Structures are given as C-alpha cells and as structure tokens.
Structure 1
Amino acid sequence: MNIGDKVRLLRAKEQGVVSRFLPGDMIEIEIEDGFRIPVMRSELVPVSPLESERLLKTSTFAPQKTVEPKAPTILSNQGIYLAFLAINDREYTLHLINNTDWDFAYVLGEESAGAGGGVQFRGVHSGLLKPKAQQKMNDLYVHATFEDWPTFVVQGLWFRAGKSTLRAPLVKRFKARATTFFKTKTTLPVLNLPGFLTQLDAEPEQPQPLSPSSNRMPQAQPKRISPEELKAEMFTSRSETESVSIDRPTSVVDLHIETLLPTGTGNRNPAELLKLQLDTFEKTLENAIASGMSDITFIHGLGSGSLRSELHKRLGKHPNVKFFEDAQKQKFGYGATKVTLK
C-alpha cells in the first residue's frame, strides 16, 4: 500500500486516498470533503482499478479544476506555478498550477541532503495538467520545520494539438526562503484562494553589456526573521499585507561602476562606489536564490583582483551556493564568476 492508493474501510462506508503513514501501524486517509482520518492498516482494503477510477472522479482529493478555454487568438504561454496553501496554523498543502493554454506533462520531486553529503532525489507526483488546472500533492509541509523543507524540482513537457511552436522542456528548482516566502501572500490562480506562490516559467531577461572593472567593500549581514514574525505574517490578511515582488535578475550581471552609474559617479567618493558594487552583488544574489534560478554569472573584471577575491570569499561561505567557477574564460578571461545555486 502506497501514498495515493485508493482504499475502503472494512467496517464503515467511507472510501478515501492514502495521504501518509503514521506510527503504530496507522495510516492517514483523506475522505470526501477533504477530511483526513487515522485508521489501522488492518481496517483498510485496496479499491479495485475500476472502482479506483470512479473514486478519483468523485473524490475531492487532488482535484483538477478545468475551465474550457474559448479558443483564444493569443495563447497564454506562461503561468506554471508552485503554490502553498495553509490548511491550518501548522501545515501547508503543495499545489502545481497550470494557468497556461498548453497541456503540461510533469514530474515533481524533492532534493535533500543525503548520506555522505550528496543530494538525494525523491519522486513525489507525476501526471498531466490540462490548461487552467491544478493538482494537489500528497504530502503536508509543516511550518515548524520550514528551514528543513527540501528543494522542489519540477520537470515538464508542453503539448498542444495542431500546429504550434516547439517548446523546450521545463526544468526548474525552487527552494523556499524565509526572507521572501511569507511576504508573497496572494490569491492563487485557478484555486482562487489565498496562499504563497512562485512562478516557474518566467522568461529570463537579456544579459547586460560588459564594461571595465573596480573593487569591493564590506556589507552588513542580512536581517534574520524569527519564527514568531513568520507566523504573524502568514495570518495577516491580504488587505493588510503590502504587495512585494521579487525582481528576477538577468543571468549575467555586470558589477562595473560604468554600468551601475551610466550617467556618472557624481559626488560619490571611492568608498561609496565600492559599497554600491557589493550592495548590488548581495541584492542580486539573494533575488536569484529567491526566484529559483539555478545559476547566475557576475562580471567583476580583473583590476587589482580584490573584488574577485572578496566575492569568492563570500560565495564560499554562503549556505545556498552549490559551487562557483571562473566563467566563459574565452570571453571574460578571469573577469567573471559563474555561481551555481542549490
């Protein structure tokens, strides 16, 4: 018996879907109306495939709410989201939302630290999302263990009947960050319920042009947010919460002063100019992490080498950086660093 299997109670009329396994040979099942109840394993029997198909059509577990499109003249090509819906003050359900006009065949999994420091992948769900539909996943994510939530990995293929442009497969990773996650409460597409949302298929911007180099300056540590503040933010009504958007940076970011201040340095002294460079680096790196980018390249130039050394020092200590390396040596020499994010 596995998570997602359809089952029937031996001594009652209820039917449901296995949602998780509990201690003491107990199993939690989700019955109609979304209620979850614990049941002894010995009190459950699997539902036959034919009954399972009929149960899936009538059960409220993992519904796909589909809206028939009106043959639009302009297709909606973007709108694949991961959404987290609070079901109480402790737990969230995870949803995959397809707000496009394409069929989306997907695989969703989790990456977490494995034995020996490696990365372990666990498959969670797979299926086909029709246009303007959503799929609820089986697992619950607990607020108290937010910092230990895994990196979510979504892989998908696009399909639309008839003539259309061939689209590249979607492969995206998302790691929830406390500094941004609880500030993005909004109305979830398709579900029309308040929740927390991240878009997986946003188009990247064009890289910035290359310029000469400069140096660096120390930067203050990011502010830490307590669990109490996070919980208070989660239950703040949407009308009281300011709309906060994360600017997804370009894949290549130029840190030269000539690019950051194209109209001139004004009355800024050298210390202020160096601080501007490092402030830009820190902010851009955090936005790249929060928006789920897999990598980003910083152009710092050669110069005296102090800016490159400081960036490498900070990247080496950053908990969300997988590794970094000199990027595109034939184009930038040793004046650029590519950062791969966890």
Structure 2
Amino acid sequence: MNIGDKVRLLRAKEQGVVSRFLPGNMIEIEIEDGFRIPVMRSELVLVSPLEADRLLKTSIYEPQKTVAPSAPAILSNQGIYLAFIPVNDREYTLHLINNTDWEFPYTLGEESAASGGGVQYRGLQSGVLKPKAQQKMNDLYAHAKFEEWPTFVVQGLWFRAGKASLRAPLVKRFKARAATFFKNKTTVPVLNQSGFQTQLDVEAATPTEPSSAAPSSNRTAGTHSRPTTIRPEDLKAEMLKSKSESAGLSIERPSSVVDLHTEALLPNGTGKRTPADLLTLQLDTFDKSLENAIASGMHDITFIHGVGSGALRTELHKRLGKHPNVKFFEDAQKQKFGYGATKVTIK
C-alpha cells in the first residue's frame, strides 16, 4: 500500500486516497468530502483498478460531452488583444485576450535581433482561446528595459462549430512604442483589470472614431506588420513622471485570506456554468489576487482551495512554483484552515 492508492474501509462506506503513513500501524486517508481521517491499516483494503478508474472519472477535468454542431448567432467578430498588466511599478505580465464569440487557435512568439544579424524567433505559447477568454504568458517584462522589448508575433485562426463564414487567418506583429503605448491605459476586457492594450484585429473592425482622429496606426499602438522605432526621449519622460502626474496603478489590495470555493465566489449560485467554467473562475481569481497582493506590497496571502480531488491545489502549486515573485508556499495552519489551504510568502 502506497501514498496515492485508492482504498476502502472494511466496516464503513467511506473510500478515499492514502495521504500519509502514521505511527502505530495507522494510515491517514483523504475521503471524498475532503477530510482526512486516521484508520488502522487492518481496516483498509485496496480498491480494484476498475473501481479506481471510476473514481478518476469524477474529476473536474472530465471531458465535456460533444454536442451536435449548431452555431448560435455571432455577436462579436472582433476583439483580439495583447494586454500588458502591471504587476508592480517595475514589471508587466503579457496576456492574449479573446473577446470575440469565436474560438481562436493561436501561436504567440517573439522576434528579436540575432547576434549574427537577421531576426531570431522564440515561441512563447500556443493553444486555443475559447470565446471571452484569456491566456497569461510566463515571462515578465521590465519597465526599465522597455526599449529592449521584442516584436510580438501572433498567428491565429477562427473557428465556430456548425455553419459559419470562412475567415482569413490573423497574422500580426506588434512592437510597443513609448509614444503611444502609455496612452492606451484602460480596463482590459475579459480580465477587467487596468493595463495597456493593443487590438490586433482592429483593421477589420468598424471604425468608431471621428474622421478627424489620428491615423489607425497610431490608435492601435503599432499593430501593423512592420515594427516601428521606440523613441528613447518618450520613454525617459514617461519613466520620470511623478506619481501625481501619471494616471497611476489602480491596485485593489486583496484580503489576506482568499476563499476560492465556488460558493464563496458565486454566492447566488453557479447557474449554468460547467465544471470547466468554475475552474477558470477559481484560477482567474487566484491569479488576480496574487498579482494584486504582490503589487500592493503584501508580505503573504492565503488561498483556501479545499481538498476535493486535489486538481485545484495541484494547479495552484504549479503556478506558484513558476512565479518569480513568490518566495515560498506551504500548507496553511491546519488548526485554522484544515487541509485545504495554501499560504504564499511574497518576495
């Protein structure tokens, strides 16, 4: 019998997973409702592989059932953005935003000057963005090295199940320019956070600005394929602005304890949200709370994620392990939070 094995109690209906071996021939198991209980080894029996497979199928990662294609009306055809969200006053995270009603299979990469001349490409991320969804990249981009930021390259397709018009692939290069980048601070769609953004599919959108406005190449902060040159004097002026002169970062300081249970996030009920939708909500809340905790100078923050299947805890720990601003993380005080919370100490 090993940690992680599925087991059943001989004289009770409970079944669970072996989580720890205790002194005195006792074993701690995690049962379905998330609690961990000590049980004598002699009172446990291993669950057969067939039964264990049935347990795994209750995971929130269970694939969605395929529904016969029937494309609903498309309400939004445009809305692909690159967004830069301030982590603090020194760094930004990069997000790809899909605020359309189309699925958006994509690749995202960087182009920079190669040491021997020419251009070097580096892939950052690929995947499929669902409608009204976003993907955060792993790298952080320093404000002080703005002039060295690469040219970002986005390639994407458009997909709708059922009958839909064929759309040309999207291929865009974006080079941030100080003259326009810092003027585009706004509330980023989908994320609903303050940041700087550029719309990649704006050329296909219906113009909403008066004809006397600046050319579209200026309004979109450099979404044309040809990179433009950053003006160092503009960057320097922006960096030397006092906090009173600049718009400043609107950072909402989160609570020191953030409950990620769906009943806490959605007190009025989950409605028609699928398990995948609920997981996305939990992860987005986690990301936003962690970034705001870092930006507002908090020393630590605790996330209550529960036990359950362990999928949410595993994903949180995976993200925390890669985060450059996390000093360390650990199980929170069990006397106060039980076994379903993680305390994060920030650098």
TM tier, smaller: 0.3 to 0.5
| TM-score relative to the length of structure 2 | 0.42
With normalisation by structure 1, the TM-score equals 0.42
